[in-house]
Amino acid sequence: MRAELEAGRWASRGRHTIRVLSVETSARADLWTAVWESGWGAVLDGAAALVAQGMVGFAPSTIDVALPKGSTKRRVEGVTTHERREVGPVVGSGLPRTRPEHALVRAAQWARTDRQAALLICLPVQQRLVRPESVVSAWALIARSPRRALIGSVIADVCDGAHSLGELDFTRLCRARGLPPPVRQSVRSSPSGRVYLDVEWEGLVVEIDGGHHFAGLNPMDDAFRANEVVLDGTPVLRLPVLGLRLRPDLFMAQVARAVERYVLPRAA
């Protein structure tokens, strides 16, 4: 090893890691280095564990690593260590990492912004790296969290449609802005049969898209239903549930403008 290092064919990356310079490196090399160099019993956690699980569409700014309480911690550039009484359930093959449902919950709590927290809940579920019911169970174990209200609501929207924000909550948002109450679950006829619309005023339809709207063939069915309503002469607004969670003022301002343009003139 000393000869290879002195000859410049290998390079040291720490106490336990050697890089063979003729071999092209990848992002996974940094993850392995973080585990080997951080201390005994280290495992990837948070967003880094989700990336190791296969998550795409997000690049962590730091590699989160969990260490058993009492183990010797070593500072590693680009790595954030979290000492834990119990590291918790881990994946037994490949890169040492916490199980994805627990990594998701921790990643959301450690996120820099609420928007990033929501993204780190959505991506693993949408990419089928974790079962929704496992996420709900992992979240139920958390007693305290600085983002408890937000994370709990987003997990409900993405993983548990029965407790997701829906038409009744939308009606409350309308009332808070002084908008007339819409009709919920109105029925129309289309070439494919009956269609049920989330909320409707005379002259305007609003569809509220929860997490289940993005699963399987649901986007196709939703698009067909909305197109039929538009072709019938009624404008349709699509509101993602996460948009109502994270930016309610932004989306409800659009609803208010649409009501003013399409609904109020008819009422007058």
Going 178 to 181 to 185 to 191, the CA torsion angle's sign is negative
Residue carrying structure tokens 């929207």: 157
Give the pLDDT band of residue 160 (cuts 50, 70, 90).
low
Residue carrying structure tokens 């160099």: 37
- Mean pLDDT along residues 3-9: 91
For the stretch 54-91, pLDDT in tens is 999 999 999 999 999 988 888 999 999 999 988 889 99
Question: How confident is the model at residue 178, as a pLDDT?
Answer: 94
Asked if residues 199 and 167 have their Cβ atoms less than 8 Å apart, the reply is yes
Angle at 76 between CA 67 and CA 31, to 5 degrees: 70
Element at 62 (helix H, strand E) = none
For the stretch 176-230, pLDDT in tens is 999 998 888 788 777 767 777 888 999 999 998 875 555 555 678 778 888 888 9
Which residues does 192 contact at the CB level (< 8 Å), separation at least 6? 224, 228
Element at 106 (helix H, strand E) = helix 100-110
pTM: 0.74
Give the pLDDT band of residue 249 (cuts 50, 70, 90).
very high
> What's the chain's length in residues?
268
Query: DSSP class of residue 163?
Result: G
- φ/ψ of 13, rounded to 5, equals -115, 15
Give the pLDDT band of residue 165 (cuts 50, 70, 90).
low
pLDDT at 162 over 80: no
Round to whole Å and give the CA distance between 151 and 105. Answer: 8
DSSP states along 187-219: EEEETTEEEEEEEEETTEEEEEE-GGGGSTTHH
Query: DSSP class of residue 263?
Result: I
The SS3 call for residue 174 is helix
For the stretch 91-100, pLDDT in tens is 988 999 999 9
Among 75-79, 107-111, 136-140, 263-267, whose mean pLDDT is lowest?
263-267
Question: How confident is the model at residue 164, as a pLDDT?
Answer: 57
